[in-house]
Amino acid sequence: MYTDPMSANARENSGGEPVARPVKTAAEILATPVQFLPGGGPNRVPLLAKLDLRTAKDVIFNFPRDYQDLTDVRPIAEFEEGKLTSVVATVEDIDSRVSMNGRSVVGVLFRQGREYLRAIWFNMPYMQNHFTRGQTVLLSGQPKYMGGRWEMAHPRVQFVEPEEQESARGRLLPVYSLTEGLNQEQLRRITRGALDLCVESLDEVFPAAYLEAHKLWPIRRALPQVHFADDRASLEQARRRFIYQELFVLQLALAIKRHRTHDEGHAPPLEATARIDARITRLLPFELTAGQRRVIDEIAADMATTKPMNRLLQGDVGSGKTAVAVYAMLVAVAHGHQAVLMAPTEVLARQHFATVSQLLSGSQVRIALVTGSVPAAERAESERKIAAGEIDLIVGTQAIVRGELEFAKLGLAVIDEQHKFGVRQRALLRQAGGDPHYLVMTATPIPRTMAMTVFGDLDVSTLREQPPNRQPVHTYLVSPDQREKWWEFFRRKLSEGRQGYVITPLVEESAEVEAMSVRQAYEALANGELEAFKLGLVHGRMSAEEKHAAMEAFRSGETQVLVATSVVEVGVDVPNATLMTIEDAERFGLAQLHQLRGRIRRGKYPGYCGVGAEPKSDESNARLDALVKSNDGFELAEIDFQLRGPGDMLGTRQHGLPPLLIADLKRDAAILEEARRDAKEFVAADPGLALPEHKLLRRMVLARYGESLDLGDVG
């Protein structure tokens, strides 16, 4: 408990008796508005609010984004120009003057043996009052050699007692994210004040035995050190405490979600018997690869139980995921249940509908398409049949969960390109259809650390092999001086009967971005390099009907070249399209470039991809170099992760997961593995975090992930 300092100075009431202010609770202390913190004040409230700092608690958990290292203490004789350095020296002389332009200049001469250093401050006349001759000072700054002597402008000053000269050392200063009108020193002062006020009020979420077993510092020791560390070792210990805690709480939430879905749910057992397997494989016009069969066995084992399957199927572009999904859906249909396949775009949903309809043309399976552009009367009839159990297999977009669609007997839900959906759509699909088995698919191979976070509540199946007879894609980096030669090759292949894509990053011209828009590209090509060929245009701002018409014209061969944005990244299957030009390729991520390139490996002819780019950074160069050298999506995903870090590679914001505050998935992969392992053991022993000693952890899990992961109350 904390007593307001004013209570120490008892105030007198009208009767002359001392009156103490009421004692504040820990929650009240943490909720102290920033304006009442040292260095705060009403004028800084709006500035701090821009950083989402409104209370003392917000301030103390606003972790530094970096640290200014002033610990390099060295003699003047070993100075390096421009290198941030600290030095212990004695005040030799002090002077103050006004320069020709009217600025005040305070100069202090420091001596260290036979070496001298001059420190200067501009427009800070009060600095001369801080020093006296013979005083020992620790200075930190960037030395510059001028006029035969070292100088430091506006160095940081720390006064040292004479007996401490030998042990004096510089500090590690926190560097925070700022907003205009607020500087580092001001925010450091506010943070110190918040720490002084709040540290003793903080509750420890980990039991003492857990802290000891995992070598974690207690929060009251770690929090001051993560801001104002005594030394590098203390900083690392403090940071480890909070990185582990953040990742552990996330993994606890995912483990609880997984436990609830898998262990507490009840789905229909849908066994893939030998008879059902034979009936399904007879329908497929090709033989399943060994990889497809292995993944199907994993899915079939899940679906055969009453515990709801919750599995992610990741496979490289063209690896045959759709055939696996069709197999799983037909298992559900064979047992008299319905199956739904949901895609993020109308283009992809229609592609799936066409593919599935063709595969099942010789069967009695009843199929319906449900998208936003389906005519109202047709959609109403489909919804009636679905509710009555007269439709077995439903393919569609988010329109499936937006309305009041009811399933008669939903046994399996398949979602393609899962990273483009949020957690909410998952939950809505479950609400609409009871408790089905759940399979999600992605053609964006996922780095392991991302799989443990964004998809941490799912089992993972991986499909790496390509079906036989898949043709390679040859990728070339097309520099400006090679463009004419590339377009000549492009035209020759079109004349041989092939089709091609031209991809641009923008729909409209932009004054801020130096990149070609899809409209500019269309006009330039139609009147230039490709004027002899028929071009189509498709982008995300067109209506569903316009996009469908453009895609059908390209699919039928009516148009030879499709000029498009990344809207064709998934769902476009035109076997005769073997050519692709990607303009301003440095503006696409590596995974997206690989996805786009996958559009031209669908048929019996090899693909050719020309990547037009003028990379302006080492990272862009490395990304494009990797694309040219490798066709392996899994390898490229790991390279992309190492180059860019997690960022928003898989739409984590779309998933609704709050951002990490101190952990970094790229840097902290080992701690993530540890936290995941520990969280699984923790939840296995106490699934609802119901034990009294886990009460605070339970509260933290709910506060941070209760809504985004739809946990409700975990108790």
Give the model confidence (pLDDT) of 361-372 as tens digits. 878 999 999 988
- Rounded-to-integer distance, Cα 623 and Cα 626, Å: 5
Is residue 89 within a helix (H) or strand (E), and if so which, with residue range?
A: strand 85-98
Class of residue 120 by CB neighbours under 10 A (exposed 0-12, middle 13-18, buried 19+): middle
In eight-state DSSP terms, residue 467 is P
- Residue (of 588, 676, 673) closest to 636 by Cα position: 588
Is the distance from CB of 463 to CB of 315 less than 8 angstroms? yes
Residue 111's alpha-carbon distances to 84, 87, 107, 114, 121, in angstroms, are 19, 10, 13, 7, 18
CB 299 within 8 A of CB 459: no
Amino acid at 22: P
- Write down the pLDDT at residue 715: 44
CATH of 274-463, one of 3.40.50.150, 3.40.50.300, 3.40.50.620, 1.10.260.40: 3.40.50.300
Helices 669-685/232-259 angle, 10° precision: 50
Is the separation of the CB atoms in 121 and 154 below 8 Å?
A: yes
pLDDT tens for residues 64-91? Answer: 999 988 888 999 999 999 899 999 999 9
What predicted TM-score, i.e. pTM, was given to this entire model?
A: 0.74
C-alpha 326/C-alpha 516 separation (Å) is: 39
Q: How far apart are CA 673 and CA 690, in angstroms?
A: 25
The pLDDT value given to residue 518: 87
98 bridge partner residues: 104
The pLDDT score that the predictor gives to residue 646 is 63
User: How is the chain split into domains, by residue range?
Assistant: 1-66+181-198, 72-170, 202-264+687-715, 274-463, 473-644
Q: How many CB atoms lie within 10 A of CB 313?
A: 27
Please give the backbone phi and psi of residue 121, each rounded to the nearest 5 degrees, phi first: -130, 130
Count the neighbouring beta carbons within 10 Å of the beta carbon of residue 306.
Answer: 11
φ, ψ of residue 687 to 5 degrees: the values are -55, -35
DSSP-derived secondary structure for 678-697: HHHHHHHH-TT--SGGGHHH
Choices 3.40.190.170, 2.60.40.420, 3.40.605.10, 2.40.50.140: CATH for 72-170:
2.40.50.140
- Domain 274-463 in the same topology as domain 72-170: no
Quote the pLDDT of residue 17: 52
Q: Residue 409 in 3-state DSSP?
A: coil
Sites in the chain below the pLDDT cut of 70? 1-22, 163-168, 402-404, 418-434, 508-516, 570-571, 645-657, 712-715
Token pair recorded at residue 486: 């590339």
Q: What are the two backbone dihedrals, phi and then psi, of residue 70, each rounded to the nearest 5 degrees?
A: -105, 20
- Among candidate residues 446, 433, 431, the one with its CA nearest the CA of residue 387: 433
Residue 254 neighbours by CB under 8 Å, 6+ apart: 453, 456, 457, 679, 709
Determine the pLDDT at residue 227: 96
What is the pLDDT at residue 243?
97
Tokens representing residue 196 in the block: 């002084």
CATH architecture of the domain with residue range 473-644:
3-Layer(aba) Sandwich (3.40)
